[in-house]
Every structure is written in structure tokens, then in C-alpha cells.
Structure 1
Amino acid sequence: MIRIALFSAALCLLGSCEATAPSNDEMIVEAPAGDIRGTTAGGTARFLGIPYAQAPIGDLRWRPTVPLPRWEGVYEASASGAACVQPSAPEHSIYYTPYPNQSEDCLFLDITAPSDARSAPVMVWIHGGSLLGGTGSDPMYDGAEYADRGIILVSINYRLGALGYMAHPELSAESPENISGNYGLMDQIQALEWVQDNISAFGGNPNNVTIAGESAGALSVLYLMASPEAKELFHRAISQSAYMVTMPELRNSSFPDIPASEPTGVWLAGQLGAGNVAELRAMSAEDITLRATKAGYYPQISIDGKYVTGQLVDIFDKGQQAQIPVLAGYNEGEIRSLPILLPPAPDNAASYEEEIRQRYIEFADRFLDLYPASDIPESMKATTRDAIYGWTAERLVASQANSGIPSFLYFFDHGYPAADEAGLHAFHGAEMPFAFGTMSSVPPNWPEIPATAEEQALSDAMLDYWASFVRDGAPQADEAPDWQQYDQHRAYMAFEDSPVGRVNLQNGYALHEAVTCRRRAIPGLAWSWNVGVIAYPLPERAPDCE
């Protein structure tokens, strides 16, 4: 139930509207969580910094997310909550964004909605940042353009880094299920449960919820689709530049190159100088985060038997994921801004070709046709892009399409002068300001997007496609091509200078799927990251593999 306090009208009745009327009106929502006061202006309502769970501090650090009881009084939702504690990106990085307000008490969400919303579709945005950084309140994720299109945008925070994903035998012993880690995923699930319980009070439809994210947020989308604890909480999914990698198990590693999560937590505690969990809980969140990052700890979601029951590829192959429409894709220049993902380059073309032939064997000619020795730097970037991001996006769409579910693939290949001149054509994340209509709200080192009619038209089209998919599962845009379902023709939408419908994306998907199939048939052999000149030698053909 919504009550709007129109102070400007009241002041006008008192004869003082011109001098004292505020620019925004207040809106009070009576939700099951409690009364919440936000603001409304220009037809858009904002409710910022709403806590969706108890603060994971003190004894609640490294415990499953705890719901909040209903609060008394009116919660003032006029400013976004703190970002979760995180290391800062290097100041020269295009992804560098200072978040001065950080805290371990960070489980907040922001809601942007049409002020007159009635049973409106809901999009829940999960930010990226390698499970290490980011916040849902980043200005690039502003939801005003979606509100203008009748969509409610909910953007969430979740625990990051060691505070969000560290497992440890002592933590598992505290759990009735004998599990630990995956706390950030638990936060995301609790946020979705909060949306189910409360969004109708904001004019949203809890039966029409789309989860969406980019990079680690898109990876989180895949985990939510796979998790038995989350499947009933949403109805569509958008995945932008996800990476379906081999996952660690909680305590018994099946992969020699991928340590189990509990032993990793024991190692990390040693790196932090802590003898037990009590000592870890006595440390500051900032100290844990910074020292864990310096020690080389990298957060990962692990197979714990409850929240994640197996490797993602196995879950999707068995059809155990949420059977919902998906919109997924990736960018042409994913690796241009992520050179850290590249192995050292061979010295010359002959060495490059020799490495590929030794590793890809009977697939070597196919590989070299796609990624030739004539331009080693570009071929290596394309290899890593296609084998990780391209394979993941298309595999997700193909998995759903094979079950007869409407599924849509995209390839973002748009450049503009500042990005192209910096060698960052269609880099990782470059699609986000276009998909949010926030091209003037990018991080400080982001290549400047020109304020031209052409750039705006591309952004408007992407917003329309995304919003209509959230609304009814069919991406459509005014004065833009029809977006065909993936189906047997491998149809996709190319976002170049404008949207162009195409088929049969030349990204080596069949090759990378064939290689992955053979690797998965060998016990203990991981199938992700090690590609191209550092790939494992191709195993012999296995049943059901090319």
C-alpha cells in the first residue's frame, strides 16, 4: 500500500509554493518489511538503502543470511547504503570507482520504480566485480530509464571477497548442514526472497521477476538458476559476459589444479595469522579483505550440496536448472581490458602454431583457421574470449533452447572513438552504460562515450530490448530489427553501430564445446581457463563427444 505526501501541494495552499516547495515529493510504502519513505520526482520513485537482512557483523560474520524482523516506525530510504568492504581497483584501471562509504554492514538494496506502478515487471540487478568488488548503487546501474519503460529495478549488494565466500572446517561444523562458504550467494537468495515478500507494496509483480547481471553478476545468475534454493524466486534471466568455469568442491577436490574450499580457508586463516574462527571474527573486515587480497585469495562459489549441488555444466546438461527464458551474450573485446587473463605469447608465428598443434592435435587446423598465427595478439585475445565468455553465453542459450524455451543470444561489437583509440573496442563491461542509458555516469577512467544521436539510438534500442524481455520474455525495440530466438539457426543480435540480426556467430562454439566435452570425460581434468597456447593436450575421443 502506498501513501504519497504531496508537500508541494500543501505549501501552495498556504500561498508559499514558489518559495519553499521541495523539488521532490515523499512517498511512503507500507510493506511487510515495514513502512519505507522514499522520494518521487518526474514520475520516478526511489527507495534507497533498504536493508534486506540483518547486518552480517560480529557473530553473524560467515553465517547464512539472517532475515530482518519487521521494523517499527518509518524507514528513511533517501540514500543508498554502504558498499560491502572491498579492495580498490588500481587507480589507472578503467574499472576504478572509489566507494568511500564501505562497511561490513552492507546488505542493502535500492529500488527505482514508476511512481504509479501497478503489477509492474521487476528486474533484480546483480553487480559484477569478480566477487571481490562493486556495489548495486553504482551510478552506472541507475534504474530511471527502466522506470520510464514501466520496469521496477532492484539493485542489490552482497558479501564480497573472503567475507562472502571463505569456507573453513570450523565454519562448516557450526552449520546444521555441515557446510560453509557461498555467503554472497545466500545473500542474493535472501534479497530475492525479500523481493517476493515486499515488491507488490511498491507496485511490482512478484510473479514476473527477472534476475540480471554482468560478469560475476552474470555468473551469479547461472548459480541462481542452478541452485535448488533459488529456482522458484524468479522467472527470466539476463546474463551479460558470464564465465562458466570449473568450480571447487567444499572439502574433497576432484581436480588437482583446483583446491577444495575448506583447505583454502585453512590456508587463508594461516595467511591472516589466525589460529581459529574466533580469532578471524575478532579481526576487522577491512584487515581481512586487504590481507586476503594481498595473499592471493580469489573468491569462488563452491559445490556444497545445498546451494550448489554440482558443476554448472553438469546441472545444465541434466536439465536441472531453472527452465526459464534467457537473454545472454558477450562482447567482442572482452579481453582487451582484461589482459591478465592472457598467457605469455609465443615468440613468433612458428612457435605459436607448434604449440597449437601439440595441444589441439586433430582439431589444430580448425583452431588455426579461427585464430591464425598471422596476428598472434588478436588471435590470443579472441581465443580466450570465445573459450570462456562466448562458450558460456552460447551454451546457456543453447541449453534452454534445447528444452524448447525462448532464448536469445547477443554479441556486442560496438566501438566509439575514445574506446577504439585506446585499443578497447567493445571491452568487458562496455555494453552496460548502453543497456542502462547511463552513458554520462561511467567510472572516471572509462573511455568517454560521445553524446551523439547515434550513440543514444543504440542505447535506446538496447533498453527497449532488455525492458521488453523483462516484461514478457520477448525482446523488441521500436525502429529496430526483430530479435529472433536462438533455435536451430543460432540466431543472434549483433550490437554494432546499430542492432543487426544475424545467424551462425563465428566464434568457434562447436570447437570449444567439442574440446570441453573431451576434457570433461577425463576425471580430474578441468575444462576452463587453460586454452590456446596453454591448453591441456586434447584427450582422445570419448563417447558422445566429437
Structure 2
Amino acid sequence: MPRLRICALALSLLLPAPIAAAADADPVVAAPAGSVRGVVEHDIRIFRGIPYAQAPVGERRWRPPAALADWDGVRDASKFGAACMQPKPRAGNIYAGDLPAMSEDCLSLNVWAPENAKNAPVFVWIHGGSLMAGSGAEPLYDGSALARRGIVVVTINYRLGMFGYFAHPALSAEAPDHVSGNYGLLDQIAALQWVKRNIGAFGGNAANVTVAGESAGALSVMYLMTAPAARGLFAKAVAQSAYMVSAPALRDRVNGMVPAEEQGSDLAAKLGATDLAALRALPAETIADKVPTTGYFPFPAIDGKTVPRQLVDSFDRGEQAPVPILAGFNSGEIRSLRFLLPKPPADAAAYEAAVRAGYGEFADMFLARYPAKTIDESMLAATRDAMYGWTAERLVSDQAAAGKGAYFYLFDHGYPATQEWNLHAFHASELPYVFGTASRTPPLWPKIPDTLAERKLSEAMGDYWASFAATGKPQAKGWPDWPDYADDRGFLHFADTPRAGHNLFPGTAALHEAVVCRRRAAGDIAWNWNVGIIAPPLPPKAEGCQ
């Protein structure tokens, strides 16, 4: 039977929440999944809290997202959906802001579209937060400014923490494909499938989708680039401050990492749950608040299905999505992430001795870039380059080698508050410039001054990102052409203004690639987290490695 289409007056009398009528001026979109009524704010149509899948909750926890039945009538899309379950933010966290109410039933997305959008490029944003926190509803990710550039912006929620990245032998045993974990990644794939089916109704072009994210969102972008189930769901990728670190295998002990199922069993024991029924009976709030105290760190697991192998191996084999990419990192990444640094050594001699013990024949190269005379700055830079810099350059290098557009950047911009707090170009500080949300940053974020120079930088970055989403080539009128990485390792340097350059930090990516190569060949050492003075002894030279 065809879906009933009845007028707004009848809806106001007949339909319960969350389906409701609103003012005649509010936009209604009849999508294949069902009709939604949004709002118009400053010439942008906004649809909030649209469910894209059914999250398995309670006694059905830790299963892939379930298909959501199409609905009849008009669903209210004026308010954001619930944020996914997560712990309360730490006091003093500059990234923490107000979130909507939390729930396990949180798989929703939000759409910002120009009023007369037709066949417009689509920009799907995946939020960061270490796979533990965040929401697509954060004011920082408001899509209005980007949408005014003629693109449709989508932000999504996906399951976090133990809810999204929990593997366990009993979960694998009950699953049809005999794997577990990666539920948050499966949520992201379900959201992209919803976009492919429905975004045309909002004026978007389902064949011109860019998947984008920052930090854990950029990590997710890389996994989507290598996930077989995500192939064909997007045409371009943006990875801001991604980190291609080693991941645990589901059952095998490789790269010095405890198998994901073993981690899950250990976590269940710490929560006092003896079986799946007990785990699923735990209140969601208990899980969200208690799990972070156990030392458990959520991460995708190599399951041979959704995650076929280590990211770096997939890219080496050319198995990643053959799409243009825009990727980069910030000069001050670790200034706001000092928990990633070990305790500094007592003096320069101790620093140099630790580096020589860990880097062997590469120690002189390492010390030339990260000298002992400036220990703090050297430790900040070394961890930045080993995690974020190496990853970004590897991404653009691999896509350029595959004959795809590859655009590399360094965000190196500061302003008075960041200089005062020693946070110059800190992790995620490029976000308000890309989204044009300088006035909507979290409460403790270093306040961005409302000056012409700051607005111009934001306008330029928004233009570059939006044009990349539209055409696969980032351009901004009145600003330098962004050279392709294939053109002598071209990049764009965002300082006070954008400047084009070539060969960023010569030899640095090659140094970290050489170290990672040997660790991969050894097979029993993780990479990228163990940097500088805590690096394990460099493995011997292996075939294919320096």
C-alpha cells in the first residue's frame, strides 16, 4: 500500500510526537525514508535529529545497526536528536560543551541545505572525540556557513566507547559472521547508506558525497576508505589530524597489542559481568561513567570483514577507495593533548641517551629534527610528526600515487589567547575556521577575536573546503592556488593567511615511515604511540625497509 500523504491540519489532530505539524513556513521534505519538517534559519533549511538506523539497545546491545522502517506522516526535525552515551567531560576540558540529552537510541543525523539546492555537492561530517565523546549537534559543527557556499552539509551521531567499539568472544559467537566490535564504524556506513538513498530529496547529489572528519572522525574516514561495505558511498575524502596507528586484531596477538576479544573479556570482568546477559542488563549510564576508569580505550578491531587489515597495509596494497583527498595537520597538535607525552627526562643528556637507545641508526636524524637543547618543544613536535604529520603525508602520497587529487595542508595559525596559553595551532583549532563558527566554540576554548583578519582566514578555509567537496579541487577566490601534492610535494600553509609551498619538513615523514616500516616487519611492536624517549629499540633492517 502506498504511504499515506495527509495535510498538516490533519496531522496536528491525529499524530503523536515525535511526528507533529508546525508553521506553514517551515520546510517539509518528502524523502524516501519519510517526510520531515525542519526550519529555516538565515536562508538555510535545517533538519535536525533525523533517524537513519535503529540502534540496538539494552538486551540487544552490541549488534550492527538495524534498518529503520520508513515512516508515514511528517516527522518533526526541528530539534537535535540525543547524543550517544558518553562519560561526563573532565573539568577544564577545552573541547567540552553542552550536549543534548544522551541515550543509547542516538543514531540520527542533521542536514543543512541551501533553500534552492538542486543536485548540490554533499559534505558528510564525522565528529572527533577519541571515539569516546562528541556529537553531530555540537555548535562547532553548525553547517550553515558551509551550506551558504552551495553545498549540503550532514553531521552524524555514531555509537561511542564501549557501546560502539566492544569485541567479546560471546558476541562473536552469536553473530552470523562470527565477529564483533566496530559497531560505531557500522553506524557510519549506515549513515552514508541513508545519505545515498535520501539526500537527493534535500537537494543533494548522492553521486557527489565527500566524507570528512577530524581526529577520531578522520580516523573513521580512513577506515571508511578501506571498508568494503563503504565502497561507492562517497566520491572524496577529507582527513583533518588523522592518525594511522596500529589497531588490535580481533583474536590474534599482533603488533604488540592485546586481541580485541581479550580486551573485551577483561573489561567485562572489571564491570563485574559474567556473561552477555549481565552486560546487557547494565544501565547505559553505568557503562558510560565506569568504563573510562578501567583503562579501556575504544578502537576499531581488525576483523577481516569491516576492517580487513591494518590501515597501513590496506593502503600499501592499494585497496583504499580511489578518491581525491584533502588531508593535513596542525603545528601545535600536542599542545592540548599533553597526556600523549611521557614524563620528560631529567636533562638533555638523558633525553639524548633515550633517543639513541630507541632509534639506533636513525638517532642522529631524529636528534637533528628534535634536539635535546629544547626538550619540551622537541617532544611536542616528535609526537605530532609521528602521529599526525606522518599520517597526513602518507595519505596524500598514497592517493597521489594512485593518480587521484591529493591536497596537503599545515594549519599554523595562532591568535592572542592561544599564544597566551601556549596553545598555538592546537589540536582541532582549525575547525571554527573551516565551519565559520568562531562565535560558537565551547566555553573554555581560547576565544577567537572578531577581527577582519580572522574572518578572512575563515572565509578562505571555508571556500577551499567547499570547493573541494564540489569539484575535488580546493580553490578560494583571491587566495593562492592549492598545489597538488604530486607537484613536488605541494601543500598549503595556513598561518595568518594561506600560502602555497612545497616539501614541508623535508625528510621528516621519511624518518617516521622508516621507523614504522621496521616495526611492522618485526610484527610485535605497535607504532606511533611510542615515540621519542619511550620508543622501544629499533628493530633490525628488514626487506623493503630503510
Which TM class, normalised by the smaller chain length?
over 0.9
**Does the CA contact (< 8 Å) of 2:240 and 2:327 recur in 1?**
yes
Q: What corresponds to 1:286 in structure 2?
A: 285
Residue 358 of structure 1 pairs with residue 351 of structure 2:
no
Measured against aligned partners, the alpha-carbon deviations of 1:11-44 in whole angstroms (never above 9, x if no partner) come to: xxxxxxxxxxx99921111111011111224321
TM-superposed deviation, 1:181: 0.5
- The letter for the 1-side match of 2:168 is H
Distance 1:467 1:6 in 2: 35
Distance 1:89 1:432 in 2: 20
- The letter for the 1-side match of 2:105 is D
Distance 2:198 2:378 in 1: 49
Q: What corresponds to 2:35 in structure 1?
A: 35
Does the C-alpha gap of structure 1 residues 23 and 365 become closer, same or farther in structure 2, counting only changes over 3 Å? farther
Q: What corresponds to 1:125 in structure 2?
A: 125
In the alignment, structure 2 segments of 5+ residues that lack a partner are: 10-21
**Does the CA contact (< 8 Å) of 1:132 and 1:161 recur in 2?**
yes
Q: What corresponds to 1:490 in structure 2?
A: 489
- The letter for the 2-side match of 1:274 is A
Runs of 4+ in 1 over 4 A off after TM superposition: none
TM-superposed deviation, 1:488: 5.0
Distance 1:147 1:415 in 2: 26
TM-superposed deviation, 1:523: 2.2
Distance 1:466 1:283 in 2: 43
TM-superposed deviation, 1:535: 0.8
Q: What corresponds to 1:11 in structure 2?
A: none
Q: What corresponds to 2:260 in structure 1?
A: 261
Distance 1:500 1:287 in 2: 49
- The letter for the 1-side match of 2:219 is L
- The letter for the 1-side match of 2:29 is V
Q: What corresponds to 1:231 in structure 2?
A: 231
Q: What corresponds to 1:140 in structure 2?
A: 140
**Does the CA contact (< 8 Å) of 1:24 and 1:40 recur in 2?**
no
TM-superposed deviation, 1:318: 0.3
Matches within 5 A, 1:39-438: 39-256=39-256, 258-438=257-437
Distance 2:268 2:518 in 1: 37
Of 504-513 and 63-72, the range deviating more from structure 2:
504-513
SS at structure 1 position matched to 2:438: coil
Distance 1:302 1:488 in 2: 35
Distance 2:223 2:32 in 1: 28
**Does the CA contact (< 8 Å) of 2:59 and 2:277 recur in 1?**
no
**Does the CA contact (< 8 Å) of 1:86 and 1:289 recur in 2?**
yes
Distance 1:187 1:176 in 2: 18
Does the C-alpha gap of structure 1 residues 61 and 98 become closer, same or farther in structure 2, counting only changes over 3 Å? same
Of 408-417 and 34-43, the range deviating more from structure 2:
34-43
Residue 446 of structure 1 pairs with residue 445 of structure 2:
yes
Of 355-364 and 114-123, the range deviating more from structure 2:
355-364
Distance 1:358 1:25 in 2: 69
**Does the CA contact (< 8 Å) of 1:530 and 1:536 recur in 2?**
yes
Paired residues in the alignment total 528
SS at structure 1 position matched to 2:39: strand
**Does the CA contact (< 8 Å) of 2:84 and 2:159 recur in 1?**
yes
- The letter for the 2-side match of 1:415 is G
Distance 2:201 2:455 in 1: 33
Distance 2:395 2:494 in 1: 19
Distance 1:273 1:425 in 2: 44
Q: What corresponds to 2:13 in structure 1?
A: none
TM-superposed deviation, 1:346: 1.0
- The letter for the 1-side match of 2:182 is N
- The letter for the 2-side match of 1:302 is A
SS at structure 2 position matched to 1:363: helix
Distance 2:298 2:242 in 1: 16
Of 497-506 and 515-524, the range deviating more from structure 2:
515-524
Distance 2:310 2:73 in 1: 45
TM-superposed deviation, 1:100: 4.9
Does the C-alpha gap of structure 1 residues 24 and 477 become closer, same or farther in structure 2, counting only changes over 3 Å? farther
Question: Percent identity among equivalent residues?
Answer: 55
Q: What corresponds to 1:18 in structure 2?
A: none
Distance 2:234 2:428 in 1: 24
**Does the CA contact (< 8 Å) of 2:99 and 2:137 recur in 1?**
no
**Does the CA contact (< 8 Å) of 2:81 and 2:100 recur in 1?**
no
**Does the CA contact (< 8 Å) of 2:88 and 2:289 recur in 1?**
no
- The letter for the 1-side match of 2:27 is M
- The letter for the 2-side match of 1:230 is A
TM-score (norm 1): 0.95
**Does the CA contact (< 8 Å) of 1:43 and 1:116 recur in 2?**
no
- The letter for the 2-side match of 1:379 is S
In the alignment, structure 1 segments of 5+ residues that lack a partner are: 8-21
Measured against aligned partners, the alpha-carbon deviations of 1:210-232 in whole angstroms (never above 9, x if no partner) come to: 00000000000000001011021
Distance 1:83 1:100 in 2: 6
Distance 1:214 1:372 in 2: 29
SS at structure 2 position matched to 1:171: helix
SS at structure 2 position matched to 1:524: coil
Measured against aligned partners, the alpha-carbon deviations of 1:165-195 in whole angstroms (never above 9, x if no partner) come to: 1111111111110011100000000000000
Q: What corresponds to 1:12 in structure 2?
A: none
Q: What corresponds to 1:537 in structure 2?
A: 537
TM-superposed deviation, 1:58: 2.7
Distance 2:281 2:327 in 1: 42
Of 170-179 and 452-461, the range deviating more from structure 2:
170-179
Of 357-366 and 398-407, the range deviating more from structure 2:
357-366
**Does the CA contact (< 8 Å) of 1:401 and 1:407 recur in 2?**
yes
**Does the CA contact (< 8 Å) of 1:245 and 1:529 recur in 2?**
yes
TM-superposed deviation, 1:326: 0.2
Measured against aligned partners, the alpha-carbon deviations of 1:370-395 in whole angstroms (never above 9, x if no partner) come to: 00111000000000000000000100
